[in-house]
Amino acid sequence: MRLENVSTDIPPHDRSFWRQSRVCVTGGAGFVGRVLCRKLRDAGCEDIFIPRRRDYDLTEPGNVRRLYDDAQPDIVFHLAALVGGIGANRANPGRFFHANLAMGMNLIEQARRTGLKKFVQVGTVCSYPKHCPVPFRERDLWNGYPEETNAPYGIAKKALLVMLQAYRAEYGLNGIFVMPVNLYGPGDNFDPHASHVIPALIRKFVEARESHQRTVQCWGTGRPSREFLYVDDAADALLAAGERYESPHPVNLGTGREISIRELANLIAETVGFEGGLVWDESQPDGQPRRQLDVSLAARSFGWRAKTELREGLRRTVDWWIKEGLTHARQTVSA
């Protein structure tokens, strides 16, 4: 798995731009948000406001008004979301739809009211139609219904794209919409009931190796493909888009490379050092048949390309889980 045609001339970040900007990052204490905030600081940003859920329930308009009053932002990165894998989406379709739509609507409306300079909405690859020509191009976003298990989540995010485009047309709000593919990396959610495929498999294989299991059970057939973007690359993309992307059109963020779930599982088992067998539970859903993005618009529009190869990103993620995440998980259980 190599990233072909990786650009070596990505424009440097404009430190004066970020030094003069007051930035609010919803979800800034989360998986991607922590990395984005670190990169914002590295780029020169000295004023970053990170709202915590216990202080600001973003599904309530009053709390969002208070957030804008407290943060006084020039730029908002909206990363906060209620997310999960196939199992979590199937169990919570109503919660996923309401929470994600309500948070975005409240934040965008208040951005309009306060005259915010720029709003960066993080969407999802789950918004694409279930049967979409590969690679997924932004113009295909409306050519069908999303895959059923995550449609409520995907449609809620897609509705926010429409809202941003409408608010740009009527009120002049500078809102952009970026669609990252499946993300992974150190600090991901490894909860077995809510995690996505990479952390779920890493945890399974590590536990199987330590307990000397002979087999590990995986969901589905293993035939569908997915594309994965390392968390640091995703944060770099958000920073570049926040600085340089001004279009109302959605933009894909990914590597442009797909891998089958079966190949992925074998690669993770190899990385972990699990030498047993894999058993595929075909009674469980596969989800969308394929996911691979056309990522040329991001390269053309704001000079960004992913840099981290999947094998290297998996190695870093496995190392983090074994050295830090697993210890924390055991302490939480024992407490």
pLDDT of the residue at 1: 43
Strands 259-260, 182-184: pairing kind: unpaired
The rounded distance, in Å, linking the Cα atoms of 100 and 162 is: 14
Give the residues across from 257 on adjacent strands.
none
Q: Answer yes or no: are the C-beta atoms of 255 and 304 closer than 8 Å.
A: no
Question: What positions carry a catalytic annotation?
Answer: 153
The rounded distance, in Å, linking the Cα atoms of 304 and 240 is: 7
Buried b / exposed e over 282-313, threshold 16 CB at 10 Å, is eeebbbbebbbbbbbbbeebbebbbbbbbeeb
Q: What is the pLDDT of residues 30-83, one digit of tens each?
A: 999 999 999 999 999 999 999 999 999 999 999 999 999 999 999 999 999 988
Closest CA to 37 of 19, 53, 52, 49: 49
pLDDT of the residue at 334: 47
pLDDT of the residue at 332: 53
pLDDT of the residue at 215: 96
pLDDT of the residue at 195: 84
- For the domain spanning 16-188+227-257+288-308, the CATH number is 3.40.50.720
- Which structure tokens are listed for 227? 């594309």
Q: Which residue has the tokens 């087999």?
A: 215
Q: What is the pTM of this model?
A: 0.91
Give the residues across from 183 on adjacent strands.
229
Task: Dihedral sign for Cα 143, 146, 152, 157, please.
Answer: negative
Q: Answer yes or no: are the C-beta atoms of 106 and 60 closer than 8 Å.
A: yes
> Is residue 77 helix, strand or coil?
strand
Residue 101's contacts (CB-CB under 8 Å, 6 or more residues apart) are 156, 159, 160
The rounded distance, in Å, linking the Cα atoms of 243 and 176 is: 11
pLDDT of the residue at 187: 95
Alpha helices in the chain (DSSP H): 15-19, 31-42, 61-71, 86-91, 93-114, 151-171, 197-210, 231-244, 261-272, 296-302, 310-320, 326-334
pLDDT of the residue at 328: 66
Q: What is the pLDDT of residues 258-276, one digit of tens each?
A: 999 999 999 999 999 999 9
Chain CA centroid to CA 176, Å: 15
The rounded distance, in Å, linking the Cα atoms of 26 and 82 is: 12
Q: For the chain, which ranges sit under pLDDT 70?
A: 1-10, 328-335
- Which structure tokens are listed for 173? 């709000």
For residue 143, the number of C-alpha atoms closer than 13 Å in the C-beta half-sphere is 10
pLDDT of the residue at 239: 97
pLDDT of the residue at 329: 65
